[in-house]
Amino acid sequence: MPPRAILILVSLSVLLHAYVGLRLLPPMAAGAAGTVAAVLLLAVSALLVPGGLLASRMKKLRWPDQLAWAGMVAMGFFSSLLVLTVIRDVTLLILAIVGGAGPYFARGSALAVPVLALGVTLAGLVNARRVAKVVEVEVPIAGLPDAFKGYSIAQISDVHVGPTIKRGYMNAIVTKVNALRPDAIAITGDLVDGSVERLRLHTAPLARLSAPDGTFFVTGNHEYYSGASQWIAELRRLGVTVLNNEHVVRERDGSALLIAGVTDFTAHHFDPSQRSDPRAAIAGAPPNVKARVLLAHQPRSAPDAAAAGFDLQLSGHTHGGQFYPWNLFVPLQQPYTAGLDQAGTMWIYTSRGTGYWGPPKRFGAPSEITLIRLVPA
């Protein structure tokens, strides 16, 4: 990251922490010692938050993972602290207008903000670090042949192996997916946050994934931040089929199921030759194909996928918002946030993700391993 960008990041962190301090500390009336302690904690947090984001880039740092952990936890706590401070300020403004705000409420609400932020952060940490629960979803497909009734696809998405998600976390996911005994396995992008060199050991458990019809992967935007071509080669080495605007066909009793994949919706910004193209992914499909499934990292691929003739799109990217209130902002960028929806005549399932990005925190948007079953419409 350029020095100017780092300076902006640190400055923004300091300013936001200063805002929280100025709005909460005076009404708390915690005394000189309490105020000094609170200021010191805010100062440490103001440096930890950008430090956690930059830890993996500091090659000479002795304990990058420890700094990343501290910084990410601090980011999760401060995110809630900031949001609750803003909510408190809006509430005080409304009460001032109607003449109902008093000093006791001002002090009580100031004390409540960090307590609530800490509670949400601890609950979010527990939710983020547990192995994702299995969510079973039935998707009705018109004209589904008898041979493919109940066909199952285990989907994992947005694991984000990196600073705080390591081999043990990945191992637990693989074990749980294999226990489902799916017909196929889909990894819908944002698997990693870092280079192959740094994370090869931690993604190695993917070689244990097992399904009769194969394990398939499509790139997410974070693969392009982390060296997409190297990761594509590494996943193929691990026995995973990477679908870059292409498809495979699986036949049973004369009928066929098509599983296709596209590169990330933004891939062309990193490599013009990698532009996402659902039409190319389905091109050349044999006439006996009766069900068409597309793996596409971002829900934004849905309109083009529906127009290309797919019956179902499996996506991720959104994390379901990961923790409140960021889930409220997902619709500003993506047409679908989580769960099963329809895009025209096509179904789309958007996973809330199997891991997490940034803060080890999930609140109101639990992680998931999804078991998709195809059933007749």
CA dist., res. 194 & res. 92, Å (int): 43
pLDDT at 61: 64
Please tell me the pTM assigned to this model: 0.92
Closest alpha carbon to 260 in 226, 283, 238, 239:
283
Per-residue pLDDT of the chain (377 residues; tens, 9 = 90+): 678 888 999 999 999 999 999 999 999 988 899 999 999 999 999 999 998 888 776 666 677 788 899 999 999 999 999 999 999 999 999 998 887 767 888 999 999 999 999 999 999 999 999 999 999 999 999 999 999 999 999 999 999 999 999 999 999 999 999 999 999 999 999 999 999 999 999 999 999 999 999 999 999 999 999 999 999 999 999 999 999 999 999 999 999 999 999 999 999 999 999 999 999 999 999 999 999 999 999 999 999 999 999 999 999 999 999 988 778 888 888 999 999 999 999 999 999 999 999 999 999 999 999 999 999 99
pLDDT at 1: 67
pLDDT at 60: 63
Closest alpha carbon to 297 in 279, 282, 314:
314
CA dist., res. 102 & res. 97, Å (int): 12
CA dist., res. 264 & res. 217, Å (int): 11
Domains of the chain: 3-129 (no CATH), 133-376 (3.60.21.10)
pLDDT at 5: 83
CA dist., res. 195 & res. 276, Å (int): 22
pLDDT at 59: 60
Residues 6+ apart with CB under 8 A from 225: 193
Q: Provide the token pair at 127.
A: 């939710």
